[in-house]
Amino acid sequence: MRLVLLLTALAAPFAFATPASSCGEHKLKERIVPPRGWTLHGPAPADHIIRLRIGLPQPNFPELERHLYAVSDPDSERYGQHFSKEEVDALVAPHPESVSRVDSWLASHGFNAEDIERSSAGDWATVRVPVRVAEKMLNTKYSVWKHAASGDYLVRTTSYSVPEEVHSHIDVIQPTTMFGRFKASKSTVHSFEPESAAAAVLKNAVVSTGAARTIDNPNGGPPVDASCNTTITVNCLKQLYNAVGVTAKPAKGNQIGLTGYLEQFANEADLQQFYADQVPAALNTSFKFISVKGGLNDQNISEAGAEANLDVQFAFGISFPTPGTFYSTAGRPPFIPDVGTPTDTNEPYTDWLDFVLSHPNPPQSISTSYGDDEQTVPRDFAVRACKGFAQLGLRGVSLMFSSGDGGVGDGDPDPATQQCFTNDGRNATRFIPGFPASCPFVTAVGGTTRIPEFGIGFSGGGFSDYFSRPSYQNKAVGKFLAGLPKGTYKGLFNPRGRAIPDVSAQSNRFRIFLSGRPVLIGGTSASSPAFAGFVALLNDVRLAKGKKPLGFLNPLLYSKAVSGFNDITTGNNPGCGTPGFNATKGWDAITGLGTPNFGKLVKLVT
């Protein structure tokens, strides 16, 4: 019945002009200044193939957002009443007139209906097109651009236009002005080292001298093993976050998912070694692998991905035996000028979004450890991707993203070389928030370290320049800002922006297995899958009691569940030649609301 009502509402007539003709004057859609670090290499080959993604307007998205907050607010009578795939598709579907006009425009350039790939809701249309045709369609010129630091190449333009009669029927077209790299250096893996001799010496010293083997738990739970101050394991996290002895049932279809990009895959042999080491009950179990757009699953152990192994081992280790899914999405941005005309790739997280939105039952808890500097992602594109995350939230999915490893800046530890400048041609000094963490419809996870915990210096935090502060943050973030000394970092951040992170978790010296050997790894890429594992455990308890999954978390976290977090009050996240923000009582721009106390949270959410 709810779907029928939605479809009826969406059928209301729109006021449009006469049907589009096959040609017309072009009107500028977007123009950018090339981001810092990119230089013009040469003209793009005319036959180079681009998968051109055209985003059609979603006229009823405000209605979707209203429903999202209603089903995510624990004080609402509609809390937990998530929508089906079909209901969400109806809310974001473009008006038929927009579809008709865009189709006519594409037809004028030789595209038939069978040439157009459409998203589940019809709000994206994708065509494969050679550069010479794309340039005519968009009245632009594509070039090959080189990234100085990495040597990567991209085929992009700095502006594009569309005929005036379709201008209002298109939100965004990419790849055009999108220079975001979404590279391994931005996957938020902060450190990578063999398990140190120092850690082994400390373990042996504890055994041989009879030194204290446990640390009082500052979070009120049972004691924490002393080794957790040098090496983080699944048991360490369960001890510290008050979840000792907690094992999923699992109940009523509960699932957890992880996304992998940039040719990363998780090695099953490494996972078995990890389970033998830390979760013996999980031995000989695995996870479901799903390839998106040709994503890899190469099980050559020497080629395993550090990021993918970290995510899989800890998220699935914490939430075992909750069924886990690993999505491997193909797509590497670089274009190689010397190999003919290879197919260009799209921004991979929207390929994943298209895929997961097309399926009726995605996992209820999903973590992603990748991102870009917000300013390298065109605003129109960021807004559309963020709306895709909102669709998943309305369907009952909790999305976690790492907040980034640059503190308030770009992650360069040398203040003399940090590049904290705007990409708008002014080169003004500015803090650099990350995206998708800055999207208000996801949960951004920052990082802590040691016991007692403090905010780790690389924990990404700050304020979005694209998205305004959502109402669920007003009280907590307003208090933080009011406590800053007057004039602190004036002009370096947007105090009205969506604030990150929302929460945090341990993020340093995680013991994983990679290519058959134990190593220590860290970053907010460790925090996010670990936090997602605990969310999956909370969903398990809720589903076992006949309740709905948590879905979009943030309205709950900032209200009813705020007392379920361990407040972190020390640490800072330097960057851009500044000390960054300090951890403080309540929410702060390095650790958010703090780290989870599962024992308290499970009572608050069930």
For the domain spanning 186-605, the CATH number is: 3.40.50.200
Helix or strand or coil: residue 509?
coil
The encoded tokens of residue 99 equal 């579809």
Q: Cβ of 47: how many Cβ atoms within 10 Å? A: 10
pLDDT at residue 34, as a whole number: 87
Let me know if 152 is a catalytic residue: no
Alpha-carbon distances of 422 from 400, 466, 522, rounded to whole Å: 27, 13, 28
Q: What is the pLDDT of residues 273-309, one digit of tens each?
A: 999 999 999 999 999 999 998 887 888 776 778 899 9
pLDDT, residue 332, reads 56
- Name the helix (H) or strand (E) containing 230: none
Instruction: Indicate which residue of 311, 344, 405, 410 is catalytic.
Output: 311
Sign of torsion over alpha carbons 446, 450, 454, 456: negative
Rounded distance, CA 440 to CA 552, Å? 10
Nearest CA-CA partner of 439 in 376, 384, 358, 515: 384
> Checking DSSP bridges between strand 38-43 and strand 143-147, what pairing results, if any?
antiparallel
Cβ–Cβ contacts within 10 Å for residue 114, how many?
A: 6
Angle at 73 between CA 72 and CA 76, to 5 degrees: 115
State how beta strands 49-55 and 124-130 pair: antiparallel
Residue 424 is assigned to a ligand binding site: no
Whether residue 258 contacts residue 315, with contact meaning beta carbons closer than 8 Å, is answered with yes
Q: DSSP of 64-89, one letter per residue?
A: HHHHHHHHH-TTSTTTT-PPPHHHHH
Judge whether 588 is annotated as a binding position: yes
Closest CA to 102 of 172, 37, 54, 58: 54
* Contact criterion met (CB below 8 Å) for 239 and 217: yes
Residue 445: helix, strand or coil by DSSP? strand
- Dihedral pair phi/psi, residue 186, rounded to 5°: -110, 15
Confidence (pLDDT) at 466: 97
50 appears as a binding residue in the annotation: no
Instruction: Report, as ranges of residue numbers, the positions in the chain whose pLDDT lies below 70.
Output: 1-23, 181-192, 195-212, 302, 331-348, 411-419
Residue 212 is predicted with a pLDDT of: 61
Query: Distance between CA atoms of 285 and 275, rounded to whole angstroms?
Result: 9
Return the pLDDT at 304: 75
Residue 184, pLDDT score: 41
In sign, the C-alpha dihedral spanning 436, 440, 441, 444 is positive
d(CA 499, CA 244): 32
Contact status, residue 601 vs residue 515, Cβ threshold 8 Å: no
> What is the distance between the alpha carbons of residues 429 and 420, in angstroms, rounded to a whole number?
6
Contacts of 12 (CB under 8 A, 6+ apart): none
Active site residue 344: no
Helix intervals (H) in 358-471: 379-394
- Per the annotation, the verdict on 307 as an active-site residue is yes
567 is in an annotated binding site: yes
Residue 561, C-beta contacts closer than 8 angstroms, at least 6 positions apart = 74, 601, 604, 605
Burial (0-12, 13-18, 19+ Cβ within 10 Å), 62: exposed
Tell which residue, 374, 233, 355, has the closest CA to residue 293: 355
Residues 356/357/359/362 CA torsion (nearest 10 deg): 60
Best CA proximity match to 118, nearest among 53, 57, 49, 50: 53
Contact present, 310 and 189 (Cβ < 8 Å): yes
Phi, psi of 139 (to 5 degrees): 50, 55
Residue 59: what pLDDT?
Answer: 98
Q: What b-and-e string marks burial along 448-486, b requiring 16 or more CB atoms within 10 Å of the CB?
A: bbbbbbbbbbbbbbbbbbbbebbebbeebbeebbeeeee
Q: Can you spell out the DSSP letters for 510-525?
A: EEEEETTEEEEEESHH
Taking Cα atoms as reference points, which of 158, 166, 162 lies closest to residue 141?
A: 158
Q: Compute the distance between CA of residue 197 and CA of residue 199 in angstroms, rounded to an integer.
A: 5
- Cα 501 from Cα 403, distance rounded (Å): 6
Q: Measured between alpha carbons, how far is 254 from 247 in angstroms, rounded to an integer?
A: 13
User: Over the stretch 310-331, which tens digit does the pLDDT of each residue have?
Assistant: 999 999 999 999 999 999 988 6
The secondary element (H helix, E strand) that includes residue 537 is: helix 524-544
3-state helix, strand and coil shares in percent for the chain, rounded to the nearest 5:
30, 20, 45
Domain ranges in the chain are 22-58+93-179, 186-605
573 contacts 407 by C-beta, under 8 angstroms: yes
